[in-house]
């Protein structure tokens, strides 16, 4: 028995000695922020500029000393424009990569797929451009860990209906949209309702699917429906551009109005050339025509870094990184729950897409900009409130 006790004592001493010599748990040298956006697939045209802008913002912050004395590390995943992939990426970022927050996704569907993950693991997630009204809530209660930097679809619908009626003086509208997309259906419904409130009439409403590329039959029906003086296309550039091209070829010369989905470097090509993009207007979050020095500095830095001009998507992602920086600094530590509390309390953040505060639904409170295209180039920008 004495020998057994002696052996046990020896083992305890050895283990104690090893424990004393073991290194302390490593303290993270960087602050990890996840980026979960569309880098391949149909929506890559939206996710790619957001990635470039986020990288620029992180580079600037790190060059200026980082946050809380640490450098930011951007952990990047591609949703592949797939909801299941977005959910999987968000789970990995929050459970394996140890991020303090996640930026993404770029579109509403993939953002909504990842939202439950953020709530489950209590890690704040902010989408730069997911504009569906239900991104941040389930229809009755706000998701406590999900935010957005862009305005919501109902807001765009209101703004664009007001703009068509008040600024363009139009009274008879045609509404077109994809039946495959909640984005399109919601925008079409809100625009139609508000246009009627403003005293206008919707002459015709026509839907197509995301797979359609030939819109001649729909345009023929529209032309037979009666006189109209404006067309509202509730869709992304990939189809809106084709609709504008085919409409111009069919002799439809009235103004076209659309949402932020119009903004794409491919719009000119899709529309059949710059000549077809006159009298075209779309809502956006940012315009290079702004005289704000912050905006001009961002444009210069982004262009120097990437070799191309920034879009509203770039600006939204850039603001998103800086909002997270502000929240981490306000929290005073790298704790997702405390960062979330600070993010929720963010007030009057001086972004390049406007002065931003969050409402009770975690949507930003700010105005919209409606841009006018002349020969495919932004020629004028009007600030519009709902």
Token pair recorded at residue 32: 């990890």
pLDDT of residue 141: 96
pLDDT of residue 7: 40
Q: Cis peptide leading into 13, omega within 30 of 0?
A: no
Q: List, as own/partner pairs, every contact residues 220-225 make where C-beta atoms lie below 8 angstroms and the sequence separation is at least 24, other chains included.
A: 220/250, 222/174, 222/176, 222/252, 223/250, 223/252, 225/174
pLDDT in tens, 81-102: 999 999 999 999 999 999 999 9
pLDDT of residue 267: 96
pLDDT of residue 326: 98
Token pair recorded at residue 17: 């000695």
Is a pLDDT exceeding 90 seen at residue 154? no
Name the 3-class secondary structure at 227. coil
> From CA 71, how far away is CA 94, in angstroms rounded?
19
- Ordered structural domains, the chain, with CATH: 30-151+291-367 (3.40.50.2300), 154-284 (3.40.50.2300)
Is a pLDDT exceeding 60 seen at residue 291? yes
pTM for the model: 0.77
pLDDT of residue 290: 87
pLDDT in tens, 34-51: 999 999 999 999 999 999
> Would you list the DSSP string of 52-111?
HHHHHHHHHHHHTT-BTTBEEEEEEEE-TT-HHHHHHHHHHHHHTS--SEEEE-SSHHHH
Name the 3-class secondary structure at 126. strand
Q: How confident is the model at residue 386 (pLDDT cuts 50, 70, 90)?
A: low
Between 18-27, 75-84, 85-94, the lowest mean confidence (pLDDT) is in 18-27
Mean confidence (pLDDT) of the chain: 92
> Would you list the DSSP string of 73-84?
EEEEEE-TT-HH
pLDDT of residue 367: 83
> From CA 269, how far away is CA 242, in angstroms rounded?
9
- By CB atoms closer than 10 A (0-12, 13-18, 19+), residue 195 is buried
pLDDT in tens, 194-249: 999 999 999 999 999 999 999 999 999 999 999 999 999 999 999 999 999 999 99
pLDDT of residue 11: 37
Q: Look at residues 32, 29, 27 and name the one whose alpha carbon lies nearest to residue 321.
A: 32
More confident residue, 56 or 21: 56
Residue 30 β-bridge partners: 71
């Amino acid at each position: 028995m004495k020998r057994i006790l002696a052996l046990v004592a020896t083992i305890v001493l050895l283990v104690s000695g090893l424990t004393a010599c073991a290194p302390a748990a490593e303290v993270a040298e960087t602050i990890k922020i996840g980026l979960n956006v569309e880098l391949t697939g149909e929506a890559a045209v939206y996710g790619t500029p957001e990635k470039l802008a986020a990288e620029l913002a992180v580079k600037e912050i790190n060059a200026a000393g980082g946050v809380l004395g640490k450098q930011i590390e951007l952990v990047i995943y591609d949703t592949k424009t797939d909801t299941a992939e977005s959910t999987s990426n968000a789970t990995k970022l929050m459970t394996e990569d140890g991020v303090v927050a996640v930026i993404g996704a770029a579109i509403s569907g993939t953002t909504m797929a990842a939202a439950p993950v953020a709530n489950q693991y209590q890690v704040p997630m902010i989408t730069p451009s997911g504009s569906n009204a239900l991104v941040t809530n389930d229809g009755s209660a706000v998701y406590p860990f999900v935010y957005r930097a862009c305005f919501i679809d109902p807001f765009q619908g209101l703004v664009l209906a007001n703009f068509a009626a008040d600024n363009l003086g139009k009274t008879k509208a045609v509404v077109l949209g994809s039946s495959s997309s909640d984005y399109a259906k919601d925008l079409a419904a809100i625009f139609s309702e508000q246009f009627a409130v403003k005293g206008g009439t919707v002459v015709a409403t026509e839907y197509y699917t995301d797979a359609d590329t030939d819109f001649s039959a729909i345009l023929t029906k529209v032309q037979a429906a009666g006189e109209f003086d404006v067309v509202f296309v509730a869709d992304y550039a990939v189809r809106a551009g084709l609709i504008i091209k085919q409409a111009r070829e069919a002799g439809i010369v009235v103004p076209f109005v659309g949402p932020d989905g119009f903004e794409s470097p491919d719009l000119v090509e899709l529309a059949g050339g710059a000549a077809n993009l006159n009298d075209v207007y779309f809502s956006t979050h940012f315009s290079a025509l702004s005289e704000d020095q912050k905006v001009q500095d961002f444009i210069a830095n982004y262009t120097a870094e990437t070799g191309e001009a920034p879009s509203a998507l770039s600006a939204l992602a850039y603001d998103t990184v800086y909002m997270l920086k502000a929240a981490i600094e306000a929290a005073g530590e790298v704790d997702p729950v405390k960062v979330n509390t600070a993010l929720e309390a963010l007030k009057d953040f001086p972004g390049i897409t406007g002065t931003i505060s969050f409402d009770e639904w975690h949507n930003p409170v700010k105005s919209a900009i409606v841009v006018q295209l002349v020969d495919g180039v932004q020629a004028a920008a009007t600030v519009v409130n709902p």
